[in-house]
Structure 1
Amino acid sequence: MDFRTLDQQLIDGTWRAGSLGKELVDRNPYDGSQVAVFALADKNDVDAAYRAAERAQAEWEAVNPFAKRAIFEAAARYVESHTEDITEIILDELGGTRLKAAFEIGLVLDIIREAGTFPLRMDGQILPSTIPDTENRLYRRPVGVVGVISPFNFPFFLSAKSVAPALGAGNGVVLKPHEDSPITGGTLLGKIFEEAGVPPGLINVVVAEIPAIGDAFVEHPVPSVISFTGSTEVGRHIAEVAGRNLKKPILELGGNSAFIVLADADLDLAVDAAVFSRFTHQGQICMSANRVLVHGDVYAEFTERYVAKVRSLPVGDPHDATTVIGPLINQRQAD
């Protein structure tokens, strides 16, 4: 399947255009070619998506756990049977290399399969009571609807990491992918779970720009939880808005990771690991090694080897199997 055709909103089980009256051109970051064009969503579309998820969640909660698990197994089979097509959209939309695509697809399969065990793990406890002839019972219950905001760097996995467990625990989901990865981080997951057989409206995908929807995605009365992966600055704002509206924020934010090389380090291993950490997906990862701290006794030798290793990395078209360094996601990141 050509996943570039997933260029619409998924709301209440229907693929349709957004209502904003403005288009988003999704471009290949390597050559600037057009991948897809989306008619963007507005606040009314966000409302429709949340209302649909709320309705569908009531139906989903009543589905028996073995049937739910079967749907996750079907979702994993769909990913496996479309691995090459998914690889192509990761290359085209993200500028990720084939190695990065394979790694990301593997992570998605793992999280879908793990989430598929959740329906059979929604257990409870019986605890002692201070009142004679009574007992306290604790039950696991879905929170209802989860709003998910995902980033551009590992969008297929980082969207799935929030979406699949939420569905597995019995919740409905509204997913807003990053504008630079609307397919890989959004509509692709909607298609996978739609094909696997979730009830219509259980997973919704709204492709929107923040200026058009503002804080409506977080402030909406339906979702109980907002899951966000992205920058610390935006995460802080989402936490504030969620807190004011008594919603639980789940945040995975930016890092400033250190890589430390001691005097007795294996320098070949240290150089390979440091370069891998810093330059995987062009360094567009929250846990990339932003600071390399090297003991003075080996600093000169490490630096010489590190620079030589970096200069040897093949740069170019992600479709070329030998490419290690592809493009940055957009001009703003490059600048």
Structure 2
Amino acid sequence: MSQVEAPTQAFIAGSWLETGRTFEVRTPIDRQVIAQVADCGPEEARRAADAAVEAFAAWKQATAYERAAVLRRWYELMMQHAEGLARTMTLEMGKPLREARAEVRYAAGFVEWYAEEAKRVYGEVVPSQFPHKRLLALKQPVGPVFAITPWNFPAAMITRKAAPALAAGCTVILKPAEQSPLTALYLAKLWEEAGGPPGTLQVLPAQDPVPLSEVLISDERIRKLTFTGSTEVGKLLYEKAARTMKRVSLELGGHAPFLIFEDADIEKAVEQAMIAKFRNIGQSCVAANRLYVHARIKDAFAEAYAARVRRMKVGNPLEEDTEVGPLVDERALEKVQAHVEDARKRGARVVAGGQVEGLTFHPTVLVDVAPEARILQEETFGPVAPILAFEDESEAIQYANRAPYGLAAYVWTRDLSRAWRVAEALEYGIVGVNDGVPSTPQAPFGGMKYSGVGREGGKWGLEEFLEVKYVSMALP
């Protein structure tokens, strides 16, 4: 029996189905089982593909206003169920409850935005050099979509993909992360209540995603793959999707630098760097993984930052004042511990945090970190902030761009000219200037280099699910 409000069956072709197999969902709070969830495999994948193809024929013919109305109802239901969704997220992946509430609003924001944008998929008339011809560019939905989402933002990563796809007229088969399937099933329940037609949005939980994914990626009828996750898995999916020439969007790993220049307001820079680093316990692809501070203010910043970190409330994520709760599972904890231990062996000093309680790793600040330390080479995905010094603007940009990733970067300066120079020089898809939380539904989200291809959010996210068709019409 589930301890949350979400269904536990698979949602296929508009029906809630048992699969004959289940897997456990354990809360990171105390590792207790909170639900037994349907475990889908190749058979369920084939059924979902058939349903998505059948539903697409009708959904793409629905008017933009009809699709917008369903999306709007979905948004309203999400807001009505905000507390239930937030509690579900906290239970299944450990996000502090007040952050989970904020994620519900953020996730619903994508649905609200695309409910409006569904009515703004415009074509174009292209001037012709021939008086008897009319040239048109039309936009049409790409087709059924296979979406794979991660556990760290269990609601927002779904709506950021599903809302634009559904607005465009596509149907969506969703494979949520095995750590957090309940939020996805809850959202599917609300889509059903909003009047979403059978087969337009389907959710297939799976403990082992590979057999299910193989079926859908190899199916030529599935025309789009959208994935958020690690760069390693993204590369494999990219290669497999190429075999059926699918459209692909990949939002992959990040290793975000945060550059703090000598003219910074240290108090304000500390607060923005706190948000950029410790939101979601550092389990974010846009989390600030490397804090580069001008040598002139590095010690003052490190002291103020460490003092603020020590004041963070660590505890049960269901309690209202908790800022840091448990990491999602043992594997996540082991990686954070390994990165800190490696840095310490290479000479780094822990100036705040470092304690471990269960799956909770206390927020930690490191100084004197060696350039070859793993924490400067790999994405930590946890609450650890290494602070390093730079001497000038050129060196800061060099350090920031050294990573093979290019998702998000942050800059703190009061110099307007420098803000423009650095923002333009950083090889990242997202740059927050004096802003630790730049993401918003109406703006593009995505990276360069090994951080992926394509964009989510805003008009750019909608275009990922549209094909352009050219029509040349000669007048008889």
Q: Same fold by TM (over 0.5)?
A: yes
Tell me, in whole angstroms, the C-alpha distance in 2 between the residues paired with 1:36 and 1:146. 28
* 1:332 CA drift (Å): 0.4
Structure 2 unmatched ranges of 5 or more? 335-476
Residue 332 of structure 2 corresponds to which residue in structure 1? Answer: 333
- Find the counterpart in structure 1 of residue 240 from structure 2: 241
- Comparing both structures, which one devotes a greater share of its residues to strand? 2
Please state whether the residue corresponding to 2:141 is helix, strand or coil. Answer: coil
Determine if contact 1:4/1:35 at 8 Å carries over to the other structure. no
Task: Indicate if the aligned counterparts of 2:79 and 2:105 stay in contact, CA closer than 8 A.
Answer: no
Structure 1: distance between partners of 2:3 and 2:275: 31
Q: Quote the Cα distance in structure 2 between the aligned partners of 1:47 and 1:237.
A: 21
Moved more, 69-78 or 117-126: 117-126
Shift of 1:299: 1.5
Amino acid at match of 1:292: L
Tell me if the contact between 2:83 and 2:101 (Cα under 8 Å) persists in the aligned partners.
Answer: no
Q: Mean alpha-carbon deviation: is it higher for 165-174 or for 296-305?
A: 296-305
Q: How many residues align?
A: 332
Indicate the percent of aligned positions where both proteins have the same amino acid. Answer: 33
- Cα distance in 1 for residues equivalent to 2:297 and 2:191: 51
Whether contact under 8 Å (2:7, 2:185) holds in the other structure is: yes
Matches within 5 A, 1:54-73: 54-73=53-72
SS of the equivalent of 1:119 reads: helix
* Counterpart Cα distance in 2 of 1:298 and 1:126: 56
What is the match of residue 173 of structure 1?
Answer: 172
Q: Secondary structure at the match of 1:154?
A: coil
Q: Residue 202 of structure 2 corresponds to which residue in structure 1?
A: 204
RMSD between aligned residues? 1.7
Instruction: Look up the equivalent residue of 1:196 and give its one-letter code.
Output: A
- After superposing the two structures, state which structure 1 stretch, 118-127 or 280-289, moved more: 118-127
Partner Cα distance (1:314, 1:174) in 2: 39
| Offset of residue 123 of structure 1 | 2.5
Q: Is the 8 A contact 1:148 1:162 kept in 2?
A: yes
- In the aligned structure 1, how far is the partner of 2:290 from the partner of 2:95? 23
State the match for 1:13 in structure 2.
Answer: 14
* 8 Å CA contact 1:238, 1:249 repeated in 2: no
Aligned partner of 2:192 in structure 1 is 194
In structure 2, the partner of 1:25 is 24
Tell me what 1:277 maps to.
276
CA apart distance, 1:261: 1.6
SS of residue paired to 2:263: coil
Deviating more after overlay: 318-327 vs 129-138: 129-138
Cα separation, 2, equivalents of 1:198 and 1:211: 28
Task: Tell me the secondary structure at the aligned position of residue 107 of structure 2.
Answer: helix
Higher alpha-carbon Rg: 2
Task: Give the match's secondary structure for 2:205.
Answer: coil
Q: Provide the C-alpha distance between the structure 2 equivalents of 1:273 and 1:52, rounded to a whole number of angstroms.
A: 46
- For residues 197-245 of structure 1, the C-alpha deviation after alignment (integer angstroms, 9 at most, x for no partner) is 0111111111112244353332222211100011111111111111122
Distance in 2 between residues matched to 1:99 and 1:169, nearest whole Å:
32
Q: Which residue of the partner structure matches residue 450 of structure 2?
A: none
Q: Equivalent residue for 2:76?
A: 77
Contact 1:5 1:36 in 2 (8 A): no
What secondary structure is seen at the aligned counterpart in 2 of 1:199?
Answer: coil
TM-score, length of structure 1 as denominator length: 0.95
Residue pair 2:6, 2:186 contacting (<8 A) in 1 also? no
Q: Which runs of 5+ in 1 are unaligned?
A: none
Query: How many angstroms apart in 1 are the aligned matches of 2:298 and 2:118?
Result: 52
TM-score, normalising length: structure 2: 0.67
1:130, distance to aligned residue in structure 2 (A): 4.3
Question: Are the counterparts in 2 of residues 3 and 188 from structure 1 also a CA contact under 8 Å?
Answer: no
Report matched runs for 1:1-335 at 5 Å: 3-18=4-19, 21=21, 23-184=22-183, 186-208=184-206, 209-213=208-212, 215-335=214-334
Which secondary structure does the structure 2 equivalent of 1:6 belong to?
coil
CA drift at 1:321: 0.6
Partners of 1:10 and 1:206 within 8 A in 2: yes
Partner amino acid, structure 1, of 2:78: V
Larger RCO: Structure 1 or Structure 2 (Cα < 8 Å, ≥ 6 residues apart)? 1
